[in-house]
A and B are shown apart, each in its own frame.
Chain A
Amino acid sequence: MSTVTWITARGLFGRSRFLMLLPLPLILIGLAVLCRSLGVDPGQWGPPVLVGLGLAVVLPVVALIEGTGVLGAEIDDGTVVHILTKPLPRWQIVLPKLAVAAGVTAVTVGVPIYVAGVLADSVRLGLALVVASAAGALAYSALFLALSLVTRRPVLLGLVYVLIWEGLLGRFVSGTRVLSIQQWVIALADRMAPTPLLGTSVSVPVAAVLTALVAVGFTVLAIDRLRSFSVAGETS
């Protein structure tokens, strides 16, 4: 475990910042337990909880906060210079930070969605959701990490992607679903545990290839951007 990993993890969890991550997963588990205990048909509560809340809200929002936080916060504070001036290859800065962001996101999302998946259907669905959302966490984190190096307003641009591209357009214009990480995650989970709860129009090979492509591509982009990174003041 490198020093960069350690610093990044402490930056995310330092003091009581980890408490901010708790409410979203707790709501997810709470709703699943509530529905289960009241005996509602899983076919009815599965889609809104698993997809509507878990994969469409908790996963991207947590990934957005973590992915832009690991590097974006340091760029904002100007402390990124301290890391950049160390004799480290750039990939040794980007990869540990990406690992922390993706790992934290995967755990934060994986635990509640496993519980919800088990309550909805079976252990198999729970495990499928965990694996798929971990892949999604990696893709989202790479995307948002690269965003925080490409632009000075990574969170807003990330929100445009999550809210407008995936949320608004994905619902009305079915063509944009091919380029939506959320749909890839659904497709992957559905492939590993076929249930009527998850459904998407994206084919599984496309989803798997594109997820890997996004994860690798944006990581390479981030390393490349950090290579010629200029430290500037806050945007006006």
Chain B
Amino acid sequence: MSDATGVIHDIGYQRYTGPRLGRRQVFGALYLHGVRTVFGLGRSAKAKIFPWLVVSVVTVVAAGVTAVRSQIGEVVMTYAQFADAMSWLVIFFAAVAAPELVSRDLRSGVLPLYFSRPLPRGDYALSKLLALVTALWLLLGGPQLVMFLGAAFTTNRGVRGVWDELLDLLPGLLYAGLWAVVFASIALLVASLTGKRAFAAGGIVAVFLMTTPVVGVLSILPSRTINELAFVASPPTLVGGVGNWALGDRLTQGRGGMPIGDFGPVYAAVAVLLVAACVSLLLLRYRKVAAR
């Protein structure tokens, strides 16, 4: 045996000595990545089909409503009614977006990589939730802005008219935010339960769809109390009830609201409880998520 002739060459590996970004930057990066994921930005054309299909349909409807209003002068939909009318598309959008955000990570088993960073488990879930809320809010808020611009440029009462229109828009945007929070928390919770995007999408739609007829049945039962509380049973009508109570006339502009009687605070409490329950279940889910 000859003597050891091996040599360790210095091929110039260096340790990273620059600044290390902390938790907040990780959160921000994950959030931004989440919002981009939802709209398919930075991904293949196939990933853009469904999100942008929904976005374009919603925008076209808003443009149509604006055109009718500027030509005939008749308000087809208020900002809040626009959000209500688009509820099925919002459900579909949530069913597209939520599985993309969380189910893919579960399926491809990359969560250990995420959690080996200075990223608490709750932050992962919350950043995804925030991304979905933002995306849903943009989905509803963008077309509302289109409607506002259309109304503002065709008003014949000058600055006064624009200001009035803005006062109508702001509650509408707030209402859209309410939609976004409620829908995002439910959809993300359902999606985080399965790694299969197909099942996640089906589950989200099933949850939203099967509760809607329950409202229809409850509101014809022979009891006034149950009738006025019926809208609690389904997320879309629950949001409608809360908006009706909190923003009242500014939302409906005297076009008949929901018959919720004096139960407004109950609706608000149920909405808050629902969101809180979904978020805490989501956090609980990511405390012990399988690493595969």
Q: Which residues of A contact B (CB under 8 A)?
A: 20, 23-24, 27, 31, 34-35, 38-40, 44-45, 48-49, 52-53, 57-58, 61, 64-65, 68-69, 72-73, 76, 152-156, 159-160, 162-164, 167-168, 235-236
User: Are A167 and B88 closer than 8 Å at their CB atoms?
Assistant: yes
CB distance from B99 to the nearest CB of A (A): 9
Chain A residues, CB < 8 A from B216: 48, 52
Instruction: Please name 12 further chain A to chain B contacts, defined as beta carbons within 8 Å, in addition to the given A31-B214, A164-B88, sorted by A numbering.
Output: A27-B214, A40-B222, A48-B213, A68-B198, A153-B46, A156-B201, A159-B201, A159-B202, A160-B92, A163-B205, A167-B88, A236-B44
B273 at the interface (CB under 8 A from A): no
B166 at the interface (CB under 8 A from A): no
Chain B residues, CB < 8 A from A155: 197-198, 201-202
Q: Given known contacts A155-B198, A156-B95, is B47 in contact with A235 (CB within 8 Å)?
A: yes
Categorize the interface residue count of chain B.
Answer: 20 to 34
Chain B residues, CB < 8 A from A53: 210, 213-214, 217
| Alpha-carbon gap, A24 to B46, bound state (A) | 32
User: Are B92 and A159 closer than 8 Å at their CB atoms?
Assistant: yes
| Alpha-carbon gap, A34 to B217, bound state (A) | 9
Q: Given known contacts A45-B220, A153-B50, A156-B96, is B196 in contact with A73 (CB within 8 Å)?
A: yes
Which residues in window 204-220 of B have CB below 8 A to A? 205-206, 209-210, 212-214, 216-217, 220
B43 at the interface (CB under 8 A from A): yes
| Alpha-carbon gap, A31 to B210, bound state (A) | 11
Which chain B residue lies CB-closest to A58? Answer: B210
Interface core residue of A52, A154, A156 (most chain B CB under 10 Å): A156
User: Are A61 and B47 closer than 8 Å at their CB atoms?
Assistant: no
Chain A residues, CB < 8 A from B92: 159-160, 163-164
Identify B217's interface contact among A49, A65, A167, CB under 8 A: A49
Question: Could you tell me the dominant secondary structure of chain B's interface residues?
Answer: helix
B114 at the interface (CB under 8 A from A): no
Q: Which residues of B contact A (CB under 8 A)?
A: 43-44, 46-47, 50, 53, 57, 88-89, 91-92, 95-96, 196-199, 201-203, 205-206, 209-210, 212-214, 216-217, 220-222
Identify A39's interface contact among B44, B46, B198, B222, CB under 8 A: B222
User: Are A154 and B198 closer than 8 Å at their CB atoms?
Assistant: yes
Identify A64's interface contact among B44, B197, B202, CB under 8 A: B202
Identify A236's interface contact among B43, B50, B203, B214, CB under 8 A: B43
| Alpha-carbon gap, A39 to B220, bound state (A) | 11
CB distance from B44 to the nearest CB of A (A): 5
Cβ-closest 8 pairs across A and B: A53-B213, A48-B216, A155-B198, A52-B213, A236-B44, A57-B209, A44-B220, A65-B202
Chain B residues, CB < 8 A from A168: 88-89
CB distance from A57 to the nearest CB of B (A): 5
Chain A residues, CB < 8 A from B205: 61, 159, 162-163
CB distance from B216 to the nearest CB of A (A): 4
Q: Given known contacts A40-B222, A57-B209, A163-B91, is B217 in contact with A45 (CB within 8 Å)?
A: yes
User: Are B199 and A23 closer than 8 Å at their CB atoms?
Assistant: no
Chain B residues, CB < 8 A from A72: 198
| Alpha-carbon gap, A163 to B216, bound state (A) | 18
Q: Given known contacts A38-B222, A52-B216, is B198 in contact with A73 (CB within 8 Å)?
A: yes
* 24 A-B pairs whose Cβ atoms sit less than 8 Å apart in the complex: A23-B210, A31-B213, A31-B214, A35-B217, A40-B220, A40-B221, A45-B220, A48-B217, A53-B213, A53-B217, A58-B210, A65-B206, A68-B198, A76-B198, A155-B197, A155-B201, A159-B202, A163-B88, A164-B92, A168-B88, A168-B89, A236-B43, A236-B46, A236-B47
| Alpha-carbon gap, A41 to B196, bound state (A) | 43
Chain B residues, CB < 8 A from A35: 217, 221
Which chain B residue lies CB-closest to A157? Answer: B50
CB distance from B10 to the nearest CB of A (A): 40
| Alpha-carbon gap, A76 to B99, bound state (A) | 15
| Alpha-carbon gap, A45 to B218, bound state (A) | 9
Which chain A residue lies CB-closest to B200? Answer: A155
| Alpha-carbon gap, A69 to B196, bound state (A) | 11
Which chain A residue lies CB-closest to B49? Answer: A153
CB distance from A180 to the nearest CB of B (A): 15
CB distance from A34 to the nearest CB of B (A): 7
